[in-house]
Structure 1
Amino acid sequence: MRRRIACLVLMACLLLTTGCWNRAELNDLRITVAGGIDRVGDKWEISYQTIIPSSMASGTGGSAGMSSQPAIYVFSMVSDTIFGARMKSNLEASRKLYVAHAKVIVVGREAAERGLGELVDLFLRNSESRETVELLLTDGTAKDLLKKMVPPEKLPGASYSDIMGKESRFISIFPKKTIFDLALSLHSDAKSIGIPVATFVGEDTEENKEKLHSLDVLKETSPPLSLRLTRLGVFSGDRLTGYLSGRESMGLSWLTDQVKGTELSFPCPQAKNKHNSIIITSAKTKLRPVHAGTHYTMLVNVKLNGNLMESTCSKDLSKPEVIREMEKSIEAEVRDQMSTGWDAVRQMGIDVTGYADIIHRSFPKEWRKMQATWPEQFKRMDIQVQVKATIRRPGLIQKTIQLMK
């Protein structure tokens, strides 16, 4: 009797299972690799860079193949809301738009200046979108950037993410930022963030611009225009308010412990017109705020290690005192970069360094009193910098070519 009851219960459980009722076949999806956000008047213009599967099959691994058809298709929709524009894609697309694989969201300048609060709301509210999508700014429109090819890759959207990833790992001038980072900044005390800006550099002619819209540019040995990260867009809240140059942004990376690896050129101790090159293998920035009354000072302690990659000095590198002189030159260069970045952000009056959050955690009672006047307090804030550089490896040869000559 018990066995019969158990069998009936199992059969009832089987009837309750629904299977893959909401499955989506791959052939019914249009996979998006990158998106674009623009403003057209008071409306949102959303662009999608989608994959053409038949063209991808003719190539190998996403690199330039022999197909005469581009591997992407870009289309745009306009609506009052971002999600509304996405739903209007059903008026044009024969397949359901699938955005979970999108790696990058490109933001046009006008949209960035108007504010990205609605974009953050959409990504955090929608279960299909991923908040790990990276952000990239452009001086023009996002739609125009998405339409341009980036040799030698067939998927420009994937190349945007690769460029920012390698930059953050090896250069650290413009660290990559995600939707999640933007959301955190909106709820922080500093309420500011820096996002990389991409620009096409080269001979800016109409003919060259048209070439980047076609597959022919993939067959050229040197493209007429190339995509490059050129500066850092500074946001106050969710609105773009200014820019930092490459050197200013590098100083900001030192000030905020975002240097993972970079190349540093520094002058020879006895010959300022000759330079050496070191690759930073590890760097750590420690921050400690101190205050006297209502005036705050941030103590910045930087320790870095690196390998000497190039030297033009006429010095014997086997001598410890010569290495120490080089280390002092490195420390002076890092301090100068930090000073340049600090002067730029303090002049802007925007706490893109995030120091407000550090002061809040260190002095919670004092923060309640000065929270409303923090922008003015930030402009009067000072920093005290200490840098300790260590050259771990001077290279395979101890004497430079200049000294051997």
Structure 2
Amino acid sequence: MLQKALMISLCLLLLTGCWSRRELNELLIVLGVAVDWEDGEYLVSFQVVNPSEISAQQRGGDRPPGTLYQGRGKTMFEAARFLTAEAPRKVYIGHLQIFIIGEKLARMGISSFLDNTLRDNEARMDFNVVVAKGTKAEDILKIFTPMEKLPTQNMLRSLQTSERSWAPTVSVTMDDIIDILSEDGRELALTGIQVIGNQQLAEKKQNVETFLPSSHFRYTGIAAFKDDKLIGWLNEKESKGFTDITNKLDSTSVELLCSGNLYMGIEITSSDSHIVMKMKDGMPEAHIYFQTEANVVDRSCKDVDLSDPAAIETLEHRVEKVMKSNAEASVKRAKSLKSDIFGLGSTVERQHPALWKKLQYNWDEDGFQMLKLHYHIKVHIRKIGTIGNSTMK
């Protein structure tokens, strides 16, 4: 009998409930974080949800769907605790979607303040990280956006859609950043975001009360890092080359000039690439192989006969030249920045580990600069649409 009572007592100790629980009405749910550097301190902005304004049962309020709380401090932790002087609840970042880094801070280095986020046991590492281009990170979180009530949700979905359908953007999570910054022979690259239009108008509710918003955000360019510091930007052409080489291209468009300043529209529907390091005279040479599928989506050039296999083959070769030109422009820019954002050094390490031990110490300055790249691009145009050669005059 005594043994049974003891067993029951032990079981009761295991059923003490959620001792560390926190109710929703005690938390500020953070969806977006922006970090800037001002006056020798971190300025951290937290965009939190206003539950009553996004609730399905309560709509049409006068308050914005979210609130921005800001804190300052010598460390990220101090800045987060600073805002408790005005925030009515404790912030919770377990649902964080977007993390925006100000360009000024990115040029100083990102490892030190990311360390605080990595140590937070409430934070999941699947949120996306972008860099505010030419503006403060806090300004991005102040924008009223159409379609989605919360700017962070709009930004997240736009980034995911853009990555799938428009080559010059890449979706990079905190998990990815940890891997890249911990890896030899590879540098970090993040997508840029900026405000288009008037910032003051973007922060007013009237911004989304017209068919064409006065101001909006746009993902533009790719930020190239050296170690953990931003050192330069890739333009649209160079960014397309980057996504091609790093096998991040899913779908994009290619325009081919023809007679009369008209263009043929080609849609890239899928593309796979891989890198093979081949040895020549004791040094590696990168051979990059592309397998690309495409469709014809716009035939403004009436002199191109889509029923002729030779014309299709010509279009394929022209698309290959465009892809090669983008890749070459991207590599040229990266070499000028001395930043191997493609992970070519990492490929050397995997495929030729003994050689990498000799090259790793000055890879960006020497090995990467001298590395020769060969492009093997094969484009297949699979479809030309449902009408072939248009019958319109």
When normalised by structure 1's length, the TM-score is: 0.91
Cα distance change of structure 1 residues 278 and 364 upon mapping to structure 2, 3 Å threshold? same
| Separation in structure 2 between the aligned mates of residue 40 and residue 344 of structure 1, nearest angstrom | 30
Deviation at 1:57, TM superposition (A): 2.4
Aligned partners of 1:100 and 1:389: how far apart in 2?
43
Q: Residue deviations 1:129-167, cap 9 Å, x none?
A: 111111111122112221222223220111111111111
CA contact (8 A) 1:135 1:178 kept: yes
Deviation for aligned residue 1:67: 2.5
Change (3 A) 1:275 1:107: same
SS at match of 1:249: helix
Paired position in structure 2 for 1:356: 345
Percent identity between the two aligned chains: 25
- Greater CA drift, 113-122 or 42-51: 113-122
- What are the equivalent positions in structure 2 for 1:3-402 lying under 5 Å apart? 5-6=3-4, 8-57=6-55, 66-138=60-132, 139-202=134-197, 208-268=198-258, 271=259, 273-293=261-281, 295-313=283-301, 314-375=303-364, 376-401=366-391
Work out the number of aligned pairs and report it.
390
> Using the alignment, how far apart are the partners of 1:16 and 1:54 within structure 2?
37
Contact 1:120/1:183 (CA < 8 Å) preserved in 2? no
Pick closer, same or farther for the CA change 1:191–1:390 going to 2, 3 Å: closer
Q: Which amino acid aligns with 2:322?
A: E
CA distance in 2, matches of 1:346, 1:283: 24
**What's the CA shift string for 1:62-97, capped at 9, x where partnerless?**
xxx633211111121011111221122221111121
Decide whether the 8 Å contact of 2:44 with 2:80 is kept in 1: yes
Q: State the 1:385 CA deviation.
A: 0.7
Shift of 1:215: 1.4
**Structure-2 separation of matches of 1:59 and 1:347:** 56
Q: Residues 289 and 376 of structure 2 are in contact (CA less than 8 Å); yes or no, is this contact kept in structure 1?
A: yes
Query: What is the distance in 2 between the residues matched to 1:273 and 1:303?
Result: 29
Amino acid at match of 1:389: V
Report the secondary structure of 1:148's partner residue.
coil
| Alpha-carbon spacing, 1:120–1:318, altered in 2? closer, same or farther (3 Å) | same
CA RMSD of superposed structures (Å): 1.9
Contact 1:131 1:180 in 2 (8 A): yes
Please give the secondary structure, in 2, of the residue aligned with 1:396. Answer: coil
CA contact under 8 A between 2:168 and 2:220: conserved in structure 1?
A: no
Between 160-169 and 115-124, the greater mean CA deviation after superposition:
115-124
Q: Deviations over 1:87-122 (max 9, x none)?
A: 222211111211111100111111111111123322
Deviating more after overlay: 79-88 vs 9-18: 9-18
Secondary structure at the residue paired with 2:178?
A: helix
Q: Give the Cα–Cα distance (whole angstroms) in 2 for the partners of residues 90 and 359 of structure 1.
A: 49
- What amino acid is the match of 1:349? K
Give, as a single letter, the amino acid of the residue that structure 2 aligns with 1:200: V
- SS of alignment partner, residue 188 of structure 2: strand
Deviation at 1:58, TM superposition (A): 6.5
Amino acid aligned to 1:178: T
Question: In 2, are the aligned partners of 1:70 and 1:214 still within 8 Å (CA)?
Answer: no
* CA shift digits 1:235-257 (9 cap, x unpaired): 11111111100110101111111
What are the ranges of 5 or more consecutive residues in structure 2 without an aligned counterpart? none
* Alignment deviations for residues 253-307 of structure 1 (CA, whole Å, 9 cap, x no partner): 1111110111222234xx3833211222211112111233454321011110122
Question: Residue 122 and residue 283 in structure 1: after superposition, are their counterparts in 2 closer, same or farther (change >3 A)?
Answer: same
8 A Cα contact 2:201 2:215, kept in partner: no
In structure 2, distance between residues paired with 1:233 and 1:242: 6
Distance in 1 (alpha carbons) for counterparts of 2:110 and 2:57: 37
Q: Is the 8 A contact 2:202 2:216 kept in 1?
A: no
Which residue of structure 2 lines up, in the alignment, with residue 205 of structure 1? none
TM-score by length of 2: 0.94
> Which structure 1 residue ranges, 5 or more long, are not aligned?
203-207
